[in-house]
Amino acid sequence: MSSPRRTPTPTGATADFARAFQQIADVLQGQQAQLAQLTQQGPQNVQTNTHRVGMNDFLRHNPVKFNGKTTPDEADDWICNLEKIFEAIECTEGQKLVFSTYMLAGEAEYWWRGMRTAMEARGEVATWGDFRNRFLERYFPASAKQERERQFLELRQGSMSVQEYKLRFEYLARFYTQGLTEAWKCRRFEQGFRHPIMKALIHLKINDFPELVEQALVAERMEESQHRVVRPQKASFSGGRNQKKPYARPQQRGFGGLKCYECGGPHIRRNCPRLTVHKPEERKCFSCHKPGHFASSCPDRKIPGGATQTQKFSGEKPKAAGRVFAMTGAEASQSGNLIQDTCFLNGRCVHVLFDSGATHSFISFACLGKLELPVYDLGSELVVSTPTSGQVLTSSVCIGCSLEVAGRKFKVNLVCLPLEGLDVILGMDWLTTNGVLIDCGQQKVIFPTEEQVQMITSREVLQDIKEGAVCFVVIATEKKKSTEEQIVDIPVVEEYADVSWTNFYGSL
């Protein structure tokens, strides 16, 4: 058998197949190269989109300028608000530094310029982390954090509501440096409650903070409902009928129901004309001898303390009289008999007027506020008379003020008055107590030359010791004389000292 004959392949067809396979391979290689390029360009595209965030995107969130003139809490809030904006717009670390420094103004901007210049001089590159750390070191230092930690440990609810107390508690808890577990946080929050709320929650032992806050809010509402006063509406029990008051007088229908037991007239006995008209001259007060009342109801009757009965029932203070020659610097300058000088009151320089026409020593309200002296009540109203200003009432006094005049120290009580142009007026009470004289001709104050022993109380001694005075105790005892010394002191008996008393009595 002869084998079948094969048809020979054309020479041009083999070349066409080879070219087709080569084109398919080129297409597959191109697709693989494009896929690899897209895979490599993926992160770059994301980074390109991130860099597209600009200043307008940042300013659209309305950030606040920082000028450095704020409290540590406000500085901390400013940084926290910036971090929230940065997280929202997804900016880079470099953009965070640019955006944050752009919002600095005034003193804060000058501070950062100096800080950045110093960092560049040291070869350091400023980053957002460096800016944040140095910003908090300056405007929220460690001492402020320690103070917030102390406030957290001492925080109490007081007059705050539970919601206000919770917000303050959570804010200060951020600065607590120790481990803050949930159970310890609940116990610390529970300790600060007011007593009624703590009493309601102390036995529950709640260790979940949100649940503890919710139970505290319920206890607060129960406390408020207990203190709420429910007033019944009118006619709620009477069915709309008018009720009489238990103390109301019965309505009178004419004068038929009244009868005087003295004269039988249509009036009560205390209004009887026989009692009010009969012999009025006999109804005189034995205290003031004025008619119309008795001594028990006399308005001028003296009571213990020096006040009258009218003052007692009206609540008025007893009054005393005083006098001053001048209340202003202009009035004092017009008179040539008054001496003005500068002295020291409690270590501060004051303008003093020496007035022999003043009954008391006075101090102005302006000087009183400047020196911050303690003020006491006189117990009575002092009516101060002046030649030009009329009468001025005052009831306050500064007791035991330290006064230094011409190098000499004194204690003086100063009555408060509305003086103008004068700080202190030294009157006759101070002049007579200390033996000081006023020479009007030579315009000077004369102090006593001889040192005299001054008697002071033990309280004044203790006060002088507190002010640094040096005290010395001198103990003196009386020496007992003998009989011979006693005889020598008697002029007549001295000449007959050898005569015995038995001979003398025997001669009698």
The DSSP line for 478-490 is PPPP-HHHHHHTS
> Any alpha helices (H) in 174-301, and if so which ranges?
182-191, 195-201, 209-227, 273-277
Residue type, 437: L
Cβ atoms < 10 Å from Cβ of 430: 22
In which band, very low, low, confident or very high, does the pLDDT at 222 lie, cut at 50, 70 and 90? confident
Strands 339-345 and 319-323: unpaired
Q: 0.85 exceeded by the pTM?
A: no
Please give the Cα distance from 469 to 461 (Å, whole number).
Answer: 9
Please give the share of the chain, as a percent, with pLDDT higher than 70: 67
pLDDT in tens, 294-335: 777 777 665 544 445 555 445 566 777 777 777 677 777 776
Which range is most confident: 65-74, 274-283, 304-313?
65-74
In which band, very low, low, confident or very high, does the pLDDT at 69 lie, cut at 50, 70 and 90? confident
Encoded tokens for 27: 């297409």
Q: What is the DSSP letter of 237?
A: T
Please give the share of the chain, as a percent, with pLDDT higher than 90: 1
Listed range (16-25, 60-69, 110-119, 353-362) with the worst mean pLDDT? 16-25
Beta-carbon contacts of 104 under 8 Å, excluding residues fewer than 6 positions away, are 65, 66, 67, 112
The pLDDT of residue 139 is above 60: yes
- Is the CB of residue 376 less than 8 Å from the CB of residue 398? yes
Please give the Cα distance from 380 to 453 (Å, whole number).
Answer: 33
Beta-carbon contacts of 260 under 8 Å, excluding residues fewer than 6 positions away, are 266, 267, 268, 269, 271, 272
Region at 242 (left for phi over 0; alpha for psi -120 to 50; beta for the rest)? beta
Listed range (51-65, 93-107, 428-442, 482-496) with the worst mean pLDDT? 482-496
Q: Which helix (H) or strand (E) segment is 417 a member of?
A: strand 408-417
In which band, very low, low, confident or very high, does the pLDDT at 402 lie, cut at 50, 70 and 90? confident
Beta-carbon contacts of 477 under 8 Å, excluding residues fewer than 6 positions away, are none
CA distances from 413 to 73, 376, 402, 403 (A): 47, 11, 9, 10
Please give the Cα distance from 168 to 343 (Å, whole number).
Answer: 52
CA distances from 260 to 221, 253, 264 (A): 62, 17, 4
User: Of 135, 139, 146, 132, which Cα lies nearest the Cα of 69?
Assistant: 139
Listed range (203-217, 301-315, 337-351) with the worst mean pLDDT? 301-315
Strands 376-386 and 319-323: parallel
Question: What does pLDDT average to over the chain?
Answer: 75
With residues binned 3-state (H G I as helix, E B as strand, rest as coil), the percentages for the chain, rounded to 5, are 45, 15, 40
The pLDDT of residue 454 is 67
pLDDT in tens, 224-236: 887 665 555 554 4
Mean pLDDT of 46-69: 76
Encoded tokens for 21: 């396979």
- Is the CB of residue 179 less than 8 Å from the CB of residue 191? no
> Which domains are seen in the chain, by residue range?
56-140 (no CATH), 144-224 (no CATH), 256-316 (no CATH), 319-449 (2.40.70.10)
Beta-carbon contacts of 317 under 8 Å, excluding residues fewer than 6 positions away, are 307, 311, 379, 380, 381, 395
Residue 386 three-state SS: strand
Mean pLDDT of 42-64: 69
- With 0-12 CB in 10 A as exposed, 13-18 as middle and 19+ as buried, what is 109? middle
Residue 394 three-state SS: strand
Mean pLDDT of 81-88: 90
Mean pLDDT of 267-281: 64
> Which residues are paired to 376 by β-bridges?
397
In which band, very low, low, confident or very high, does the pLDDT at 254 lie, cut at 50, 70 and 90? very low
The pLDDT of residue 235 is 46
Q: Which helix (H) or strand (E) segment is 87 a member of?
A: helix 72-89
The pLDDT of residue 46 is 42
Residue 170 three-state SS: helix
The pLDDT of residue 485 is above 80: no
Please give the Cα distance from 129 to 119 (Å, whole number).
Answer: 14
The pLDDT of residue 483 is above 70: no
Please give the Cα distance from 187 to 212 (Å, whole number).
Answer: 10
Mean pLDDT of 178-204: 85
Encoded tokens for 314: 């009206």
Encoded tokens for 223: 């406390």
Give me Rg for the CA atoms of the chain: 50
Higher pLDDT, 439 or 38: 439
The pLDDT of residue 49 is above 70: no
The pLDDT of residue 410 is above 60: yes
Q: Spell out where 418-449 has E strands.
A: 424-426, 437-439, 444-446
Query: CA 201, 207, 213, 216: dihedral to nearest 10 degrees?
Result: 0
Backbone phi, then psi, for 456, in 5-degree steps? Answer: -130, 165
Mean pLDDT of 116-144: 87
The pLDDT of residue 6 is above 70: no
Higher pLDDT, 4 or 64: 64
Residue type, 154: E
